[in-house]
Chains A and B, each alone.
Chain A
Amino acid sequence: MSDLRTLHDAFAELERRADAAATGMAPVARPRRAVRLAPVAATVVAVAALVAGVVWLVPGGSGTHAADPSTTSSTAPATTTARGPVPTSPDDLIARFRVVLGDTATFEATTKASLPPPSTSNSPQPPSPTNPPRPGAGSVGTPQLADPEVSTGAVIGGTLTSAGFTGGFGLMVHPSDSEPREWCDFSRVEHCDVSTLPDGSRLATGTARRAPGAVSYLACLKRPDGTMLLMQVSNQEDPAGAVIGSPGGEIYSPQPPLTLDQLKEIVTSDKW
């Protein structure tokens, strides 16, 4: 007989295979598909392309990043008009994050993605001659592909270490139509605290505890110019907590490597 520990080991191994597949290194013996398992509509293909566009890129550029003063390129004051351009590629974001962190922490980015331009509303773009609606889809068109050449934001994730504690982190910077509070709701944050800063930015912060012993902090800043900076840090592998209610991976430390106040300082830093 086995016990639940073995079942959890099995889940962890399957998660590892999923992560390996996502980075293109999966030891997967993919069987020949004799049948299509589900109808693939045009939209699905388009969305798959969108997904591929924002897909978590291979961690080829990963590595431990520490603060490097020589890379400091943005010392603009914390005003909307004087800030440098928003990082639009994962590598730019990594470089900028390194500057913002200074000697506060070191990090290793293991997942990277580019984000496509935001839609003009919170709904998919309307159909056009080059973007025709598919039959039965009403007015729903296909989404923009996330061409790295036209990406307007980036996402990175990985592990971060500070003061002897290691945890997972996720960081997304891009122009957005979303509101900071939405990320509190989405992340099941307890007691979401939303405030408006002197420059008009809105900041949402909170703590999530998705599993026994797991702590995740969230800080989401929406600047007046529409730029959103979302950062989550946790004492476990996946600061986003995976699918709601699921374990969120291995717990690395008894506490997250950064405090919530440090997270606020990072997203509101004038070094972005």
Chain B
Amino acid sequence: MEFAEYVARQRPALMRFATVLTCRTWLAEDLVSDVLGRAFERWERISAMAEPNAYVRRMVVNEYLSWRRRLTRASPRAGVEPTVTPDGADERAERDAMIRRLARLPRKQRAAVVLRYYAGLSDREIASQLGCREPTVRSQIHRALNALRIDLTATAPDFQETS
């Protein structure tokens, strides 16, 4: 698979993943562009992998974690993009409050919760992506859910965890 093919097919999905991870589209654009720049340099090797997409996603996560360190130093109070069209609906207000809480999570907690509940990875896969042990992953997710004020026992069956 050629690099241009990969970018054409996968960039929108990478942008979605990076936006969920960073909660900011402008950051996601920079993140994806930088990662694709690095991926281009190694494309011959990456494209030969069994799961090139998983590798690129890991690059996105690693890049995000290192960026967050820079962001914390440069802009400790960096906020979430404001919602342009406030609608006042309760559900949307709750959703936006969730995005704000997500954006305030420590970087590893946020990465863990996104990899678990957005990417659908197992504890083992998340541990591999984040370079930590599985108990650490479970601990990070537990803390994240507390900070997000999510009660798993109140979750509808079709949104229960699958792994």
- A residues near B (Cβ < 8 Å) are 1-11, 13-15, 17-22, 26-31, 34-35, 37-38, 40-41, 43-48, 50-51, 54-56, 111, 113, 115-116, 118-119, 122-124, 137, 140, 143, 146, 155, 170, 172, 174, 176-178, 182-183, 185-186, 188, 211-212, 238, 240-247
Contact call A243/B2, Cβ cutoff below 8 A: no
Question: Known contacts being A143-B4, A177-B2, A247-B118, is A4 close to B13, with CB within 8 Å?
Answer: no
Question: Known contacts being A18-B28, A38-B30, is A28 close to B81, with CB within 8 Å?
Answer: yes
* A-chain residues with CB within 8 Å of residue B74 when the two chains form the complex: 34-35, 37
* A-chain residues with CB within 8 Å of residue B9 when the two chains form the complex: 155, 170, 172, 240
- B residues near A (Cβ < 8 Å) are 1-5, 7-20, 23, 25-30, 33-34, 36-38, 40-41, 43-44, 47, 50-54, 57, 63, 66-67, 70-71, 74-75, 78, 81-85, 91, 94-96, 98-99, 102, 113-114, 117-121, 148-152, 154-156, 159-162
Question: Known contacts being A9-B95, A15-B20, A34-B75, is A51 close to B36, with CB within 8 Å?
Answer: yes
Docked complex Cα distance between A183 and B1 (Å): 8
* A-chain residues with CB within 8 Å of residue B7 when the two chains form the complex: 50-51, 54
Contact call A21/B37, Cβ cutoff below 8 A: no
Contact call B155/A182, Cβ cutoff below 8 A: no
Contact call A244/B54, Cβ cutoff below 8 A: yes
User: What residue in chain B is nearest A144 (Cβ atoms)?
Assistant: B4
> How many residue pairs at the A-B interface have CB separations less than 8 Å?
238
Question: Known contacts being A2-B150, A113-B8, is A7 close to B40, with CB within 8 Å?
Answer: no
Contact call A172/B8, Cβ cutoff below 8 A: yes
Can you give 21 A-B contacts (C-beta < 8 A)? A1-B154, A3-B151, A4-B155, A7-B150, A13-B96, A17-B81, A18-B25, A35-B74, A38-B63, A38-B70, A40-B37, A48-B33, A54-B7, A54-B8, A115-B5, A116-B4, A119-B2, A123-B44, A143-B4, A178-B1, A246-B118
User: What residue in chain B is nearest A6 (Cβ atoms)?
Assistant: B98
Apart from A4-B159, A18-B16, A211-B120: 9 A-B pairs, beta carbons within 8 A: A1-B150, A3-B156, A9-B98, A13-B96, A15-B16, A27-B85, A35-B70, A48-B33, A155-B8
* B-chain residues with CB within 8 Å of residue A29 when the two chains form the complex: 81-82, 84
